[in-house]
Amino acid sequence: MDYRASIQAVIDLIEEQLYEEIDTERFAAYAGYSYYHFQRIFTEVVGMSPACYIRRRRLTEIVRRMYYDDRPIYEIAFACGFNSREHFCRAFLREHHIHPQDYRRTRMSLRLYDRVVLDDTFPVLTPRIVVLSEIPLLVYQSDEAFPPHFWNRYNAEGRSARLSGGAVCEDYGVSLWDNKNNRLHYAIGIRTEDAHGDTADTVPLTLSGGLYAVFETPRTTHLAFVDVIRRTWDYILNTWLPQSEYRTTDAPPFEVYTEKSRTFCETIYIPITEKENNR
């Protein structure tokens, strides 16, 4: 059964009342479902619970306002539905793994959540197919389960400039899949040749040479950037790869971006080889 129309109607109502006191049981009645059934359907269709959607949407709108509104952070939070400083600060730290003050100081690109539109589509992306030589890096190994959280800390702490000795250079995010433990290990750093600063706590990592599909994320804004990156990865893995003449290899994929550039377009490299039936 397609629940998208009824859930979209609920989402539209949530957005109208986003900054008010919200009773999710009332939304279940509005959609015509029992509360349990509504929670299950909403989570299945949207990818998160109603309470999580509301919290993330409020945090997103606070971040948007912080970008242009010079009022104290907590005044903005109160205007957007949070009823205490402590509640807001805990929610922001849990979501982004940095403090709100760190965002206001750096204005880095955070993972934000726009209003969900269930019939939204993504543009077709055509990659360049290139052959790369090995790329030696010096990287920090992530201790976060979610790579965007580690990017937030990497940028907030100025690790790129610390590594480079103050120079602006490209940052590499590398996805290393651990088959034995069935988990992702992530690392961020710069080319070894650019590392003229403090290299403490880094480890060497060499990206494999070979054939790569190279994607550019669609140009966007600071506030939408992390979501566009996520959607680009989804497009590559779930649309482009299954339909292409290539498959991935065991080499790690990686992404390249220069935070100081403020271009809000990153490059994604997918290691590939031809599928057996195309040889």
Helix (H, G, I), strand (E, B) or coil at 122: coil
Q: What is the mean pLDDT of the chain?
A: 93
**pLDDT at residue 78 above 90?**
yes
Contact 161, 246 (CB under 8 A): no
- Mean pLDDT, residues 222-239: 92
Burial 148-171 (b: 16+ CB within 10 A, else e): bbbbbbbbbeebbbbbbeeeebbb
Q: What is the set of domains in the chain, with CATH numbers?
A: 4-106 (1.10.10.60), 128-278 (3.20.80.10)
- Could you tell me which of 143, 136, 119, 56 has the C-alpha nearest to residue 92? 56
Please tell me the predicted confidence (pLDDT) of residue 2. Answer: 67
- C-alpha 13: how far from chain center: 26
Q: What is the rounded average pLDDT of the residues 15-19?
A: 94
Look at 33-42, 91-100, 177-186, 221-230 and tell me which has the smallest mean pLDDT: 177-186
Tell me the average pLDDT across 167-187: 90
With pLDDT > 70 as the criterion, what percentage of the chain qualifies?
Answer: 98
Question: How confident is the model at residue 279, as a pLDDT?
Answer: 55
Residue 129: how many CA atoms within 13 Å on its side-chain side? 9
pLDDT at 57: 96
pTM for the model: 0.83
pLDDT, position 142: 94
- Specify the amino acid at residue 98: I
Q: What is the pLDDT of residues 204-223, one digit of tens each?
A: 999 999 999 999 999 888 88
